[in-house]
Amino acid sequence: MGRFASRALIALLFAALAAAQDEPVFSVDVRLIRLLVTVKDDYGRPVTRLGPQDFQVYDNGILQKVVIFEPHTEQPLSIAVLIDASGSTAKDLRSEKDSVRRFLNAVIRQGNPDDAASIYSFNYDVHQVVDFTRNLRSVEAALKGIKAEGGTSMYDALILSSPYLADREGRHAIILITDGGDTTSYYRFQQAVEAVHRADAVAYPILVIPITADAGRNIGGENALSTLARDTGGRVFTPSDGASLDSAFEEILSELRTQYLIGYYPRGIPQSTERFHRVEVRVARPGLHVSSRSGYYEDSEKQPAPRRRSGPGGR
């Protein structure tokens, strides 16, 4: 009888395995996914009185359970300011640096006492001119040293700055001030977008357009910046002078001060060969508009820093 019992047991095991192959396989991720969410009304005004019951979060189309909810989050803010110092920015660089100085003064003097900023300049090369700091004298000295020359390695700047943001506690933002497209980067645009996603950073490109007419403008570069902003939950600003540049920084600061922090652990998501998870945040109330990053990468690998170059065209 023992022999027949063994055959019966084997048959049951094979049947169970066959049944399991017909069922979907779900992934369980222990990583906490954090989303910075901005909500505005039809007039573009921040909406700050929503509760967790007003939000729905979908990961690859699957509704998730929100485990962290903070309105007007006070989590410390780390900002990387990336300044285009290519030759074409020479006439606007001084006013840009003045606006950056005023903006960082407001960031450091207000809000969380652990808020900090770093500054990068980029042309043919990428330079971190000051590490994360709250020292306004260091900020002043760093800005004074930025000179305009050479090409535009914008994507390299995004890739180089992102890992330093990823290692910091709290919220992350990148402010990118440029006059157009990339001309000398070693890395590609999609790699830069991935790096910003991995840093959990919101990107705010400030596009200082040197040519207002369509002829001669770098439309491809402008579209790339719009994509970067949309995919990370930020938006593009196009100031025309120093006053409107200051206004852009004021709007960015307002958004950073009125964001919701939402967190969840991915559950019940069918396994896929795609590394990128699409995330959608919805608000049940009509007339409200939500901005948040479009997703995240499943693994935690980091991209290497871009290669340094000593001059034009060097690789």
Asked if residue 302 has pLDDT above 70, the reply is no
Secondary structure class of 244 (helix, strand, coil) = helix
Range 118-126 average pLDDT: 97
Which CATH superfamily hosts domain 27-315?
Answer: von Willebrand factor, type A domain (3.40.50.410)
Average confidence score pLDDT of the chain: 85
Backbone φ and ψ for 283, nearest 5 degrees, come out as -120, 130
| Segment 90-112, tens digit of pLDDT | 888 999 999 999 999 999 988 78
**What one-letter code names the amino acid at 234?**
G
Secondary structure class of 231 (helix, strand, coil) = helix
Domain residue ranges in the chain: 27-315
Quote the longest CA-to-CA distance of the chain.
Answer: 93
| Residues whose CB is less than 8 angstroms from the CB of residue 133 and which lie 6 or more positions away in sequence, other chains included | 116, 117, 118, 139
Q: How confident is the model at residue 210 (pLDDT cuts 50, 70, 90)?
A: low
Distance CA 42, CA 233 (A): 18
- The model carries a pTM of 0.83
Question: Which H or E element spans position 106?
Answer: helix 90-109
> Nearest-5° angle of CA 20, CA 26, CA 32?
155
The better pLDDT of the pair 83, 112 is held by 83
| Segment 261-271, tens digit of pLDDT | 999 999 999 98
Rg (CA), the chain: 23
| Segment 228-250, tens digit of pLDDT | 999 999 999 998 777 889 999 99
